[in-house]
Structure 1
C-alpha cells in the first residue's frame, strides 16, 4: 500500500467496480431531428452495441453507485476484518473503544491493502485497455471478473461452494472456476463468516481466562458487589499492550487471506 499514491489507489479501487464506472462513458453525438426531443434516450445503435444519451447514462451511473457498498461487503475481505475487530472490542470489554468509526475506517483501509494485488490486476487487465478503447465493455467486464473470482475462490471452502451449487441445482460437471457469481458470492461470504468467527474465538480465549481468574479471586475475597468486568479491564488492556496486540491482530488478519 505504501508504494501507491493516493490518487492511484482511488483509480484502482474504482477500477474494481468497472461495470459501474463504465456507464459514465460519454455518448455519441447526434443532432436531434425536427420536432424530436432535444436529449434523446438512445443516441446510437449498431452491431457493436447501444449508446445512450448523457442524462440516461448519468442516471444509470448514480443508480449503479448504490451497489458499491454491496460489492465491498460481499466480494472483498471487508466482512472478515470488520467482524474480527468488533469481536476483539467485545473481548476487551471496552464498550465503545475503539469507536465504530475507527473500526470501519481501519477495516476499509486494511481491505484496500489485502485487495491491492487483485485491484492492480483489474486495473491493468480491464480498466486501462477499456479506457484506451482497445477492448469493448463486455470483454472488459469478463477481464475484471476473473481476478475477483480468483480472490474469492481462494478464500472459499469446498463444502460451502458445494452447498450453494447443490441449492442452485448446478450440474456436477460445473466447477468453481466456471460457476456463476450468484453461487460463488454467497459461498465466499459464508466462508468469510466462518473464518471471522474462528479467529474471534481464538481472540476471546486469553481474555476469558483473565475474566475467570478475576471473578474467582473476587468471589474468594467475598467482594460480591464489585464487578469482575471492571476489575479485569485494566489487566486485559495490559496484556493486549504488552503482547503488542494490534501488531499481532492486524498482521494475522492480513496474513489470513490466501494469495
Structure 2
C-alpha cells in the first residue's frame, strides 16, 4: 500500500474515533418527578397549597422550636452566668448555644416522643388526616407550655386580647376561653373597640400582677384544659414568662459573684491600690469559686428541675 493511501487510511480511522467520542449520548442522571395527583383544578390547587404551606413551616421550624421549648430560659441563664463571671468570650457563643440545645433536647424528650407517637407517626402511616395529625403534634407541646407559663402572664395576654380584639376563639372550633382576669371597664366611643388608654393598661397590669406567679396548669384545667387556651394567647405569654424566670434565676446567680467583686474592691481600696481594676483581680477568684462548687453541674441540674412538674 502506498504511503499516501496508508496515511489517508489512518487519518480516516482517527476521524471516525473522534466522531464516536463527541457523539452525544444519553445522560444517566437520576430522574425526579413531582406528582400532585390527578383530579379537578380545585383538588390540585389544594394540594399545591398544602405543599407550599409545609415548605413554609419547615423553613420556620428552628424558630418555632425555640419559641415553644425550654431553649429561651436556658440560653438566657447561661448568658447571664457568663456576664456574672466577668468573661467576655469564654465559653464562646457556639458552646453556650450547643449546651442550651442539648439541655433542651433532654428536657423536651418526653414531649417530643409523645408528639411523634400521637401525631407524626400516624400521619406518616396515613392513619389520620393531616389536620388531625398536626393537632395531635401541637397538643403535647401546648400542654408543656401551659405547665410552664405563669398565670399572671396568661391572664394579662388573655385580657389584652379580649380588650383589643374581642373574645379569642380557638382555631380548633372550641368555644372562646373566658378571660382569666376580670373584665376591664373602659369609657370611650365604640365600646369594646375603643382604643386602650394608659389607665386601662395600668389596671390590666395590676390585676395580672395580683395573680399567683405559679404555673397556670390549674387555671387551664378550670377553663377547659389545653384546648380552651388559644395559641395566640399562649405563645407570647409563654415567652414573657420564660424571660421573667430566666432573669429571676440570673439574679440569684449574680449575687455570689457580686459579693466577691465587692470584697475584692474593698480590699484594694483599703490597701491603696486604686489604680488596679477590681474586675481583673476578682476574675480568678470567681472562676475558682465556680469550679469548687461544681457550678456547671449545679446549674444544669437546677435548670432541668425548674421545668419539672
**What's the TM-score bracket when you normalise by the shorter of the two chains?**
0.7 to 0.9
Match for residue 162 of structure 1 among 137, 151, 155: 155
Q: How many residues align?
A: 219
Structure 2 residue aligned with 1:52: 48
Match for residue 123 of structure 1 among 112, 116, 141: 116
Structure 1 residue aligned with 2:131: 138
How far apart are 1:52 and its partner, in Å?
Answer: 2.6
Unaligned runs of at least 5 residues, structure 2: 1-33, 168-175, 180-222
After TM superposition, the structure 1 = structure 2 runs for residues 214-233 of structure 1, keeping only pairs within 5 Å, are 214-233=264-283
Change (3 A) 1:183 1:242: same
Structure 2 residue aligned with 1:191: 241
Q: Are the counterparts in 2 of residues 126 and 140 from structure 1 also a CA contact under 8 Å? A: yes
Distance in 1, matches of 2:35 and 2:237, equals 38
Distance in 2, matches of 1:246 and 1:149, equals 30
Match for residue 173 of structure 1 among 173, 178, 192: 178
Q: Are the counterparts in 2 of residues 130 and 137 from structure 1 also a CA contact under 8 Å? A: yes
- Taking structure 1 as the reference length, what is the TM-score of the superposition? 0.79
Q: Deviations over 1:94-131 (max 9, x none)?
A: 11100101011111111111110000000000011111
How far apart are 1:179 and its partner, in Å?
Answer: 1.6
Q: Are the counterparts in 1 of residues 177 and 229 from structure 2 also a CA contact under 8 Å? A: no
Unaligned runs of at least 5 residues, structure 1: 1-25, 32-39
How far apart are 1:72 and its partner, in Å?
Answer: 2.1
Structure 2 residue aligned with 1:66: 59
Larger Rg: 2
Does 2:223 correspond to 1:202?
Answer: no
How far apart are 1:141 and its partner, in Å?
Answer: 1.3
Distance in 1, matches of 2:105 and 2:177, equals 35
Match for residue 234 of structure 1 among 268, 278, 284: 284
- Taking structure 2 as the reference length, what is the TM-score of the superposition? 0.66
Distance in 2, matches of 1:196 and 1:41, equals 51
How far apart are 1:68 and its partner, in Å?
Answer: 1.6
How far apart are 1:27 and its partner, in Å?
Answer: 5.0
The RMSD of aligned alpha carbons is 2.2
